[in-house]
Amino acid sequence: MSEYQKIILLANQILKNHELCYHCLGRLFSKQLGLSSNKILGQKLKKNFKSSQKCFICKNLFDNLNYFLKMMIDSTSDYSYRTFSVGTTVKPSIVDRDDYIRSHYKLMGVDSVKTDITKELSKSFSKKTKKILDFLDPEIHLIINFKNESCQLHSKSITFSGRYVKTLRGITQKQKSCINCNGRGCRTCLFHGISEFTSIEGIISQYIFKKFGGTTTKFTWIGGEDKSSLVLGPGRPFFVKLHHPNKRTSKLTSIDLDSIKLKNLKIIDKFPQKPIMFNSSIEIKISSKSTLDSQYLKKLKNICNDPVMVYEKSGKRFEKQIFSLSYKKLSLYNFSLFMKVESGLPIRRFIEGGDVSPNISDILNCKCTCEEFDFHDIEV
């Protein structure tokens, strides 16, 4: 007796006790025969049986897949993408009946009904939309819930890198979170996590939202600056991840956005996983309580010879290097300092003193105040 004849006998035995649709019947034997179409095999195996009831396993769910296919197409209508994947949630009773049939008739190596439903939906969706099924790294992921007849869509995040130039004082780097949701995203803030766009973060986020849609953004800054500081030259580098984007491609150029200039914004493959080390070229304007002694000012250049020690309240200690330093005396009580420093040096504490050694106030033997400081270059 051939393999196919044995399958016919077992299929007949199953059909005498349980009504099965073409898909569910064919699925039980298609792998054994090396066939790709469960439905066609099911039609052949069931040709001598008339259907009078709903399928014992799926309750004719396969006949209604077009309803869910339309739901999937409607859900993706506002998104641009090339690749997709599909996940499904089915009623436990369907899974239980499928497990019973496979166990009772000792059917090994058979795809579950959930797997088959997912395959059929994926195949139909790909054919209808001309998109590519990708199990590993899809641009959108659709989850079809057959229990409550819903479709959830998850759009893969996009990561950007760029630089910003800040030419106006008074703008903070970070934006305060929406007070209603604390940054998680809600209807009040249109799911952006921020309700205002008045900071560097807010201005850049607003531009990205307009270009790509999406919900929230997550920034990694290469250093930071005071609200009163300028960022000049090539600008400060940053990375930003956009969650749940609608679009995945758009023309990106350098652009003036009110008080900041956005430069070299581009899409990159990965968000940085480790802290990025950098050096900053800084101009600092300093005032003193006492008249400035030129002999003391000359001692400032000796700072480059040894590391600067930074002490934190936690008890930790850090060493920071100053690579170059020059100064310009502006008046009896004011001078400018030009430095190239390692990332992480707290500028105000370095000028005014406060758990930083050496510091400018100690070297000049007078109380100094950091009036403002600007960044001329950030080297990564």
State the amino acid at position 123 in one-letter form: K
User: Are 113 and 38 within 8 A, CB to CB?
Assistant: no
**pLDDT, one tens digit for every residue, the chain (380 residues):** 688 888 889 999 999 999 999 999 999 999 988 888 999 999 999 988 887 789 999 999 999 999 999 999 999 999 999 999 999 999 999 999 999 999 999 999 899 999 999 999 999 999 999 999 999 999 999 999 999 999 999 999 999 999 999 999 999 999 999 999 999 999 999 999 998 999 999 999 999 999 999 999 999 999 999 999 999 999 999 999 999 999 999 988 889 998 899 999 999 998 888 889 999 999 999 999 999 988 889 999 899 989 999 998 888 999 999 999 999 999 999 999 999 999 999 999 999 987 999 999 999 989 999 999 999 999 99
**pTM listed for this prediction:** 0.88
b/e for 168-195, b at 16 or more Cβ within 10 A? eeebbbebebbeebebebeeebebbbbb
pLDDT at 1: 67
**How far is residue 277's CA from residue 120's CA, in Å, rounded to a whole number?**
49
> In this structure, what token pair is assigned to residue 380?
């990564």
Identical fold for domains 158-268 and 279-379, yes or no, is yes
The amino acid at 84? F
- The Cα 67–Cα 146 span in angstroms is 11
Q: What is the CATH number of domain 158-268?
A: 3.30.70.2510
Query: What's the pLDDT at 294?
Result: 86
Q: State the catalytic residue, choosing from 63, 111, 134, 226.
A: 226
Other beta carbons within 10 angstroms of residue 109's beta carbon come to 7
Vertex 376 angle, CA 374 and 380, to 5°: 120
Q: Residue 223's closest CA among 312, 361, 353, 320?
A: 320
Tell me whether residue 78 is one of the annotated catalytic residues: no
Predicted pLDDT of residue 200? 96
| Domain range 3-155, CATH architecture | 2-Layer Sandwich (3.30)
pLDDT at 225: 94
What's the CATH code, domain 279-379? Answer: 3.30.70.3190
Return the domain boundaries, the chain.
Answer: 3-155, 158-268, 279-379
String of DSSP letters for 127-139: HHH-PEE-SSS-S
